[in-house]
Amino acid sequence: MSVDEAYREFVELLGEENVSREPAVLDCYAWQPTFNDDPDRWVKRPVAVVLPSSTEEVQEVVRICNRHGLRFKSFSTGWGAWNGPTFDNVVQVDLRRMDRIVEIDAKNMYAVIEPYVNGAQLQAEAMKVGLNTHIIGAGPNCSPLASATSGWGVGHDSIYMSYSARNLLGVEWVLPDGELLRLGTLGSSGEWFNGDGPGPSLRGIMRGSCGALAGLGIFTRCALKLYNWPGPPEMEIDGIMLDAKMEVPENIGYYMCFFPDRSSFSDAMYKLGEAEIAYNALATSFGGYLDILTPRLFRKLEHTGALRSLITETFKFTLAVLLAGNSARELAYQEKVLHAIVREHGGLAMDVTKMEDFFSMLFMSFVRATIPALVFRMGGSFSTALDRNDSLDTQVTWREVIRKIKEGYIAKGQILDDLADNPYFVPYENNTWCHCEVVYQYDPRNPEHREALEPIFLDVTIAAIERCMEPLFTSDPRVRKLISPLAGNFGRYQQAISRGLDPNQAADNTLYSVEADFDFSGIDPERVKRLQGVVEQRRWQ
């Protein structure tokens, strides 16, 4: 392994200004506190950072790493601990310079983008031609390419615009050996309009419910589906977010719906999906809104049982629905149906377009998915508990399960008190299937909070397995080792794919194909026993 020689080659390839080995500069890639359960919050420092600007440069970077026995790990925006190196000899490939929207084919409704285009940019350009892009709940600062090829992909527009993985067409993929693999029509004719075939679809080895998180190479371009946008080509909005002012666009409706109980909420959601009227739909608790809009409020509510009960019980089943009609008549129809569904299920639908300030704040924050990141306000960080996603009913159960787990930790002061019930609940594709994650907030500077992250992670993992669900972080080597035998030994196939595509094991593939054991030494034995028990109960092979 020769880092010095490799570095010289990087400089020759990319120019000095696009390469660095300076420790402080490298630490900018090693600080990864988000979704990092390690109390230290630093990940391994890369041996170098490189910034290629083209597919050819990416290929050569990968080849240099292969030649010199180095590993590489790429990212687009780099938000989240999974972006950081996991080995000692990793070159961080920062794709920031690859930031073009290559084309928008408005007729065939797709955009071809590079890794560093963010959701806000893509949406702004798509809207000019009457189209929109799926933006994940993490926000428009994230890369749609990274989400679709390598990450997860849920957003509160998923009812209309699906899940990132399902929005892919052609993909350009630099394999871990530096060779190029172009999926679908791209590989055959250089066109982008189809990502599957000929014959079997190689999207099958590219990603699953989660992507490979840079463990299978580097994606340099992809075509993403765009969707109809009946709203204005440009949004006129004054003020930044919480102080925003804007007019209600034509043919837009926005409702906050409240349901009296779990079954009426669930039943209504199923009907909403079947009616095919919603453009965005996000169910959360009313407390969830207060949490992000008044983050200090809950610290004051510690001994106010009646008020807590009022917020959590009265407004427990809250659903925000955005309607977007292609005509005034369509909007009128959508509104009529929504009211009928809500009424039938004992609920109440409030017209948010009539609440000027709230609408102004909420509309763009939903359409552009800027609002979820406000979840950082309370404590400075958050994590999330999510399972595999399946029927809507399973997600309603999941919400309750995690709420109870959270209550225990809140009572001990190990996470912040957000009233525990804090779901991000969204249906996919008119409720073909559904998603719920329950957020928990903490102060990363508080050592007690940091120490609680691992036990919470374990509890959530146990809860998922109990519910016959694959936990969110199957990408974690310990979880993968645990879950894989319960789900067809998928880990073995991933390892085979890794060996097949990456003969030198040059990609940083810890989060894709490495398996590891949980360290139970600091964990309460009852919890360990419960985990082992539930694993045995859930074997089907």
By CB under 8 A, is residue 101 in contact with another protein? yes
Task: Scan residues 514-533 and list those touching another protein (CB under 8 A).
Answer: none
Task: Note whether 306 and 278 are within 8 A (CB).
Answer: no
Task: Scan residues 221-240 and list those touching another protein (CB under 8 A).
Answer: 225, 228, 230, 234-235, 237, 239-240
**Least distance to another protein, CB of residue 104, Å:** 10
CA 403 – CA 217 distance, rounded (Å): 38
Task: Scan residues 456-515 and list those touching another protein (CB under 8 A).
Answer: 465, 467-470, 474-475, 480, 483-484, 486-491, 493-494, 496-497, 500-501, 512
Q: Rank residues 313 and 342 by Cβ distance to another protein and give the closer one.
A: 342
Best CA proximity match to 320, nearest among 361, 379, 377: 361
In the sheet that holds 423-428, the strands lie side by side as 348-351, 252-259, 317-324, 280-284, 423-428, 433-442, 381-386
CA 106 – CA 317 distance, rounded (Å): 38
Partners of residue 113 on adjacent β-strands:
101, 222
**Least distance to another protein, CB of residue 100, Å:** 8
By CB under 8 A, is residue 365 in contact with another protein? yes
CA 401 – CA 395 distance, rounded (Å): 10
Q: Tell me the CB-side half-sphere exposure of residue 138, using CA atoms within 13 A.
A: 24
**Least distance to another protein, CB of residue 88, Å:** 15
**Least distance to another protein, CB of residue 517, Å:** 18
Q: Rank residues 311 and 341 by Cβ distance to another protein and give the closer one.
A: 341
CA 189 – CA 401 distance, rounded (Å): 50
By the 10 Å C-beta count (0-12 exposed, 13-18 middle, 19+ buried), 536 is classed as: exposed
Q: What is the dihedral of CA 216, 217, 221, 223, to 10 degrees?
A: -10
Task: Scan residues 43-72 and list those touching another protein (CB under 8 A).
Answer: 49, 51
Binding residue for another protein, selected from 87, 315, 358, 433, defined by CB under 8 A: 433
Q: Rank residues 284 and 475 by Cβ distance to another protein and give the closer one.
A: 475
Q: Rank residues 348 and 496 by Cβ distance to another protein and give the closer one.
A: 496
Catalogue the long-range contacts made by 351-354 (C-beta closer than 8 Å, 24 or more residues apart). 351/253, 351/254, 351/255, 352/254, 352/255, 352/256, 352/320, 353/248, 353/252, 353/253, 353/254
By CB under 8 A, is residue 337 in contact with another protein? yes
| Direct distance between the N- and C-terminal alpha carbons of the chain, in angstroms, rounded to an integer | 42
By CB under 8 A, is residue 78 in contact with another protein? yes
Q: Rank residues 264 and 315 by Cβ distance to another protein and give the closer one.
A: 264
By CB under 8 A, is residue 388 in contact with another protein? yes
**Least distance to another protein, CB of residue 319, Å:** 17
Residue 131: C-alpha distances to residues 105, 155, 227, 415 (Å): 10, 17, 5, 41
Task: Scan residues 196-215 and list those touching another protein (CB under 8 A).
Answer: 196-213, 215
**Least distance to another protein, CB of residue 348, Å:** 18
Residues touching another protein, count (CB under 8 A): 165
Task: Scan residues 303-332 and list those touching another protein (CB under 8 A).
Answer: 326-327, 329-330, 332
By CB under 8 A, is residue 399 in contact with another protein? no
By CB under 8 A, is residue 29 in contact with another protein? yes
Cβ atoms within 10 Å of 12's Cβ, excluding its own: 12
Binding residue for another protein, selected from 308, 478, 530, 538, defined by CB under 8 A: 538
By the 10 Å C-beta count (0-12 exposed, 13-18 middle, 19+ buried), 463 is classed as: buried
By CB under 8 A, is residue 144 in contact with another protein? no
By CB under 8 A, is residue 245 in contact with another protein? no
